[in-house]
Amino acid sequence: MPLDLYYNIISPPCRVVLLFAKWLKLELNLIELDVLKREHYKPEFVKLNPQHYIPTLVDGDVIVWESSAVLIYLAEKYGTDDTLYPKDIALRAKVNQRLFYDIGTLMRSVTTYYHPILLGGEGKLEDFKKVQDAVTVLDSFLHGSRWTAGENVTVADFAIAVTVAALDGLLNLDFAVYPNVHRWYEQCKRELVGYTEITKEAAQKTQSFLERFRAMRAAEQQQLCTLQQQHQDVQNEQHEAHQSHRYTELQTLQKPGERENAQTVAPSNTPVDEAKSDESSKMSTED
Ligand SMILES: N[C@@H](CCC(=O)N[C@@H](CS)C(=O)NCC(=O)O)C(=O)O
């Protein structure tokens, strides 16, 4: 029976699962969710995953999300040997470390740097430096090592391969400066089944996603400006009505002989003038 995967190819963690499923030759029933249409908030999906995150894998009664957890689950359940996620504790610790480095350092540095660019602004230099630092660390993992955690390909390579492809597509990093990463990246392109195709399809779809996303944001901002303007208009109208009411009040309170004086005071706008008009109204009442 195929496994259900709730996903969208523009999401890097979803691509990690797609790529690894291809490696394991698993049949997936792909269910695409459009996050801009907020399809991940549909009640039937939130029932499966209260965190409403993609990717989410459903394998019979088992529901798994968090791409690294999905990788581990698939490797343990469907891997044909224990190289992809080693049983040996020391080796497994190394693979886990690479997975956590990917999610907590490398991917995080890329998203932090890219976020303002996604919103139409510019990335910060200090954030770009963090990306470079993270890639330098990756280069050290790969020094004298064919894959990121040793001589065998492991789940960590699938996760990091997707992050590096995203980094390459979004940030134009010069990989020549990181010779081990460069060598490993080319090896991923050659050896990870479907890597180039998935990356290419994602790049195309990301482009149209970005256009839709920016158009939506522009429309939201326009709507916000209109609302602010409407709010301002209401406030202005209320202020004018208040002024006019006070003016009428003053007119009725003033004796006929004092009305000309009051007219020069009542229409004023400043607090000082209002205080003066209060004073004048008090005086006229006391009279
Ligand atoms: N750490 C998670 C990240 C998953 C994630 O951020 N998914 C995004 C799409 S890239 C999502 O589902 N966003 C919807 C939401 O935040 O509600 C993983 O590796 O699976």
* Cα 196 to ligand 1 centre (Å): 22
Instruction: Tell the CATH topology of 81-193.
Output: Glutathione S-transferase Yfyf (Class Pi); Chain A, domain 2 (1.20.1050)
Q: How do residues 222-269 score in pLDDT, each as one tens digit?
A: 888 888 888 888 898 898 888 888 888 888 877 655 555 545 444 444
> Is residue 281 flagged as an active site residue?
no
Q: How do residues 150-164 score in pLDDT, each as one tens digit?
A: 999 999 999 999 999
From 5, 46, 53, 101, the mutation candidate for ligand 1 (largest count of ligand atoms within 8 A of CB) is 53
Q: Whose CA is nearest to atom 10 of ligand 1?
A: 11
Strand partners, 29: 4
Q: Which amino acid is at 171?
A: L
Residue 53 backbone zone (phi > 0: left; psi -120 to 50: alpha; other: beta):
beta
Are 131 and 138 within 8 A, CB to CB?
no
Domain boundaries, the chain: 1-79, 81-193
- Average pLDDT in the 99-116 region? 97
3-state DSSP call for residue 100?
helix
From 15, 36, 41, 54, the mutation candidate for ligand 1 (largest count of ligand atoms within 8 A of CB) is 54
* Cα 88 to ligand 1 centre (Å): 30
Among 86, 83, 85, 137, CA closest to 107:
137
CA–CA separation, 36 and 34 (whole Å)? 6
User: Which band of pLDDT confidence, cut at 50, 70 and 90, is reported for residue 221?
Assistant: confident
pLDDT at 261 (0 to 100): 54
Q: What mean pLDDT is reported for the chain?
A: 89
10 Å CB burial of residue 233 (0-12, 13-18, 19+) is exposed
CA–CA separation, 22 and 1 (whole Å)? 16
Which is more confident, 139 or 234?
A: 139
CA–CA separation, 269 and 213 (whole Å)? 44
The closest-lying atom of ligand 1 relative to the alpha carbon of residue 54 is 12
* Cα 102 to ligand 1 centre (Å): 14
Whether the full predicted model's pTM is greater than 0.85, yes or no, is no
Residues having CB closer than 6 A to ligand 1 are 11, 13, 35, 40, 52-55, 66-67, 103
Q: Whose CA is nearest to atom 15 of ligand 1?
A: 53
CA–CA separation, 89 and 74 (whole Å)? 18
pLDDT > 70 fraction of the chain, expressed in percent and rounded: 88
Contact residues for 45 (Cβ-Cβ < 8 A; gap 6+):
6, 33, 39, 52, 56
If one counts every other C-beta atom within 10 angstroms of the C-beta of residue 63, the result is 14
3-state DSSP call for residue 77?
helix
Q: Whose CA is nearest to atom 12 of ligand 1?
A: 53
Instruction: Return the structure tokens found at 45.
Output: 């999906």
User: Which band of pLDDT confidence, cut at 50, 70 and 90, is reported for residue 140?
Assistant: very high
Name the phi and psi angles at 199, rounded to 5. -60, -40
CA atoms within 13 A on the CB side of 29: 7
Are 7 and 31 within 8 A, CB to CB?
yes
* Cα 53 to ligand 1 centre (Å): 5
Strand partners, 150: 147
* Cα 31 to ligand 1 centre (Å): 15
pLDDT at 124 (0 to 100): 97
The closest-lying atom of ligand 1 relative to the alpha carbon of residue 68 is 19
The closest-lying atom of ligand 1 relative to the alpha carbon of residue 52 is 17
pLDDT at 255 (0 to 100): 61
- Average pLDDT in the 109-133 region? 95
Tell me if 1-79 shares its fold with 81-193: no
Instruction: Return the structure tokens found at 66.
Output: 């968090």
Which one of 3.40.30.10, 3.40.1080.10, 3.40.50.11540, 3.40.50.300 gives the CATH number of domain 1-79?
A: 3.40.30.10
